[in-house]
Structure 1
Amino acid sequence: MHVTFLGTSGAIPTTERNTSAVFLRRAGERFLFDCGEGTQRQMMRYGTGFDVSHVFLTHLHGDHVLGLPGLCQTWDFNERELPLAIHTAPGTKSQVEALIGVIGTRPSYTVAVHEARPGSVVVRGDGYEIRAFETEHRTRSVGYALIEDDRKGRFDREKAEKLGVPVGPKFSQLHRGESVELDDGSVVHPEQVVGPSRPGRRFVYTGDTRPTDTTVEIAQDADLLIHDATFGDDNAERARPTGHSTAAEAATVADRAGARRLALTHVSTRYGGHVAPLEREAREVFDGELYTPDDGDEFDIPFPDE
C-alpha cells in the first residue's frame, strides 16, 4: 500500500502546497481521496498516473473538489473506457453530478456517483473494504477508511515436513485451512502447521473535521491516520467555528486510537513552510511516528507485523 500526498494545503493553495488530494495505490488498484484544484497537474508532476477507479470526496468545499471537472475532461480526452465511481457525502450526489456537468458534455465513459452513508461499506474489494465514517465540519462531510482483511497465519514448513507432509499441493491445502490425509492414513490439521491469522493494514483519511469519537473508533490501531491539522495552538479559537482541528487535537485522536502513524495535513497558509511548531505541539501528545508531509511526499504502509 503506497500513499502519495498530492495536496497538503488548507483552503488556499501556496507555491509549495496544493489543495487537498491524496493518491493511494494498493496492489493493482488506484484510489483518489479528494480532488482539489490542480490535482491532475500534481498527478503528472509526481508520477502517479491517471489510472483511478474510485474517487472519494469528503465534502464539497472548493479546495476538495474543484479539480474534478478538469480531471474528468482529461480522462475523456484520453479516451477512457473504464467506468469511474465517485463517492460523496449523503445529500450531495446531485451537486457532484452538476459539478462534472460544467465541462459541457457528458463523459464518454460511465460515471456513477454514490452517496457514502456513514457507517457503511462503500467499496468491497479483493481482501479489503472501504468504509465511510461521520466527521464534523461546516457542511455535509464524511471520512474514509480502507481496512484490509486479516491475512492467513504463517505456514511452518519445517513442522509440516516433520509431521510427514510431502512438499507440494498439500502445503497449499493446509494453508487454505484444509486438513490433509497422509499416505499412512494419519491426518494433519491446519492448526498444527499454520500460525494465528495476522491483521491487515488500516488507512484512515478524515478530510476536514473537528476531532470526533467516531474518528477515534474507526482509526483504532490505524497504520496511517491522515488527519486535519489546519491550525496550531496559537489559533485554536478559530478551529471550532471553522470546523477544523489543531495539530494537538489531531494528535490526541491518534493517541486515543492507538494509531501507529499520524500525518498532519490541510495546513493553513499562515504557517507557510514553518510547520515545526505544529509538529512540536503534536509530539507533546502523540509518541508514534508523526509527519507533516509536503506535496509529493510518498509513504509505504507496512503490514503491522513487519
Structure 2
Amino acid sequence: MSMRVTFLGTGGAVPTTERNPSSVLVNREGDRLLFDVGEGTQRQMMRFGTGFTISDVFLTHLHGDHVLGLPGLVQTMDFNDRDRALSVYTPAGTEEEIDALIHAADTRPSFPVHVYGVGPDEAAVRRDDYEVRTFRTDHDTNAVGYALVEDERKGRFDREKAEELGVPVGPKFSQLHEGDPVELDDGTVVEPDQVVGDPRPGRRVVYTGDTRPSDRVAEAAEGADLLVHDATFADDRADRAGDTGHSTARQAGEIANRAGAERLALTHISSRYAGDVSDHLAEAREAFDGETFLPDDGLTREIPYPDE
C-alpha cells in the first residue's frame, strides 16, 4: 500500500521565490491528507500535480503562513465542482476563526465544509487501518502537531509450512491468514500461529508544524518512519529560535535521535537562509545518524514499510 509525502511549502513565515509557506500533503493509497495550508497552496498543488481531491485538512495553528491558503483552496475546489464534504481540523478553541476565514470575501462553497476542534492527545481521524493523532507542541500560540499512525499488519503467511501441514491450496489459506483455525479432512486442526508470523508494524509519519524542541514531540515521533520537524534557524540564530517558538536544525536532529526516527525532513526554513541551507543539513546530521534531508518545494518521497 503506497504512501507518498509531497512537500508543497517548506519556507518560513516570509515566502521566497524558491519556498512557499508551510504545507505538506500525504497521499496514502488515495486518501489525500493536507497538513497546513500556507498562502498559494492551491497553486503548488497544480504545479506539482497532486490534484485537489483532499479528504481532510489538518491545521497546526492559526499563524498566517499556515492557514491563509485555506480560503483560496476551498474556492478552487468549488470552481472544480466539488460536491464531497471537506473536513478541517484545527486546535480546539479556534473553530470560529477558521470558519470565518473559509467564508471570507463572501465565499459560499457549494459543498459542505466541516470544521472540528481537536485538543492534544486525541484521535482527530480514525479510518479502517490508520488514524491521525494529535500531540501538544511548544509554540507561542494554541498549537498541535499530527501523527499519521497505521495499524499493525498481519504477519506473513508461510505457504510452504501450510502445505507441509497438509492444508490444501485454496480458501483455507485465507482463513488461516485471517486468524481462523481450519480443520483438515483427517480431523487435524491447524492453528493460525502455526503458519502466520508475528504482526508487522505499520508506518508512522509525524508533522510538527512550528515548535521549540519538546519532550511531547519526541514521544509522538517514537519510531517514526518520517519526522517532518520545524528547523527554522541554524545554530547562528539559536537564541532567536527559542524566543520565537521555533527550533534549529540541530535541535530537530536531536529530537529525531531521541525518538529513534528513521528519517528527518527539515522544514519551515527562514528566508534568511535563501539559497544556502548547507549549515542546516550539517548541523542536523551531527545530531542524528538517520537519513536527514531538507526538501525543496515539490519533492515527493515514498515511505516504505519498516520491514521492507
TM-score of Structure 1 vs Structure 2, range by shorter chain: over 0.9
Do structure 1's residue 180 and structure 2's residue 182 form an aligned pair?
Answer: yes
TM-score normalised by L of structure 2 = 0.99
Instruction: Report matched runs for 1:238-249 at 5 Å.
Output: 238-249=240-251
Do structure 1's residue 9 and structure 2's residue 17 form an aligned pair?
Answer: no
The structure 1 residue matched to 2:92, chosen from 90, 93, 96, is 90
The structure 2 residue matched to 1:116, chosen from 111, 115, 118, is 118
1:70–1:103: 8 Å Cα contact kept in structure 2? no
How far residue 103 of structure 1 moved from its aligned partner, in angstroms, is 3.3
Instruction: Report matched runs for 1:110-259 at 5 Å.
Output: 110-259=112-261
Do structure 1's residue 20 and structure 2's residue 22 form an aligned pair?
Answer: yes
How far residue 42 of structure 1 moved from its aligned partner, in angstroms, is 0.2
1:133–1:215: 8 Å Cα contact kept in structure 2? yes
CA distances 1:74-115 after superposition (whole Å, capped 9, x unpaired): 111111110000000111000000101113032111111001
CA distance in 2, matches of 1:28, 1:249: 33
The structure 1 residue matched to 2:291, chosen from 261, 286, 289, is 289
1:251–1:262: 8 Å Cα contact kept in structure 2? yes
Other structure's SS at 1:103 match: helix
CA distances 1:199-251 after superposition (whole Å, capped 9, x unpaired): 00000000000111111111010000000000000000101110000001001
CA distances 1:260-280 after superposition (whole Å, capped 9, x unpaired): 000000001111121111110
Q: Which residue of 2 aligns with 1:273?
A: 275
Letter in structure 1 aligned against 2:208: T
Instruction: Report matched runs for 1:47-126 at 5 Å.
Output: 47-126=49-128
- CA-atom RMSD, angstroms? 0.6
Do structure 1's residue 41 and structure 2's residue 43 form an aligned pair?
Answer: yes
- In structure 2, the gaps of 5 or more residues are none
CA distances 1:23-74 after superposition (whole Å, capped 9, x unpaired): 1100121010000010000000000000001000001111001110011111
CA distance in 2, matches of 1:29, 1:248: 33
CA distance in 2, matches of 1:152, 1:10: 41
Other structure's SS at 1:15 match: coil
CA distance in 2, matches of 1:283, 1:23: 25
CA distance in 2, matches of 1:99, 1:233: 36
CA distance in 2, matches of 1:235, 1:48: 35
Letter in structure 2 aligned against 1:107: P
Q: How many residues align?
A: 306
Other structure's SS at 1:253 match: helix
How far residue 172 of structure 1 moved from its aligned partner, in angstroms, is 0.3
Letter in structure 2 aligned against 1:191: D
1:205–1:225: 8 Å Cα contact kept in structure 2? yes
CA distance in 2, matches of 1:218, 1:57: 17
1:73–1:103: 8 Å Cα contact kept in structure 2? no
Task: Give structure 1 regions of 4+ aligned residues with deviation exceeding 2 angstroms.
Answer: none
CA distance in 2, matches of 1:249, 1:290: 13
How far residue 19 of structure 1 moved from its aligned partner, in angstroms, is 0.5
CA distance in 2, matches of 1:38, 1:262: 25
Other structure's SS at 2:105 match: coil
Letter in structure 1 aligned against 2:212: R
Other structure's SS at 1:94 match: helix
Other structure's SS at 2:52 match: coil
TM-score normalised by L of structure 1 = 0.99
1:84–1:111: 8 Å Cα contact kept in structure 2? yes
Letter in structure 2 aligned against 1:204: V
CA distance in 2, matches of 1:301, 1:124: 20
CA distance in 1, matches of 2:6, 2:68: 19
Query: Percent of aligned positions with the same letter in both sequences?
Result: 65
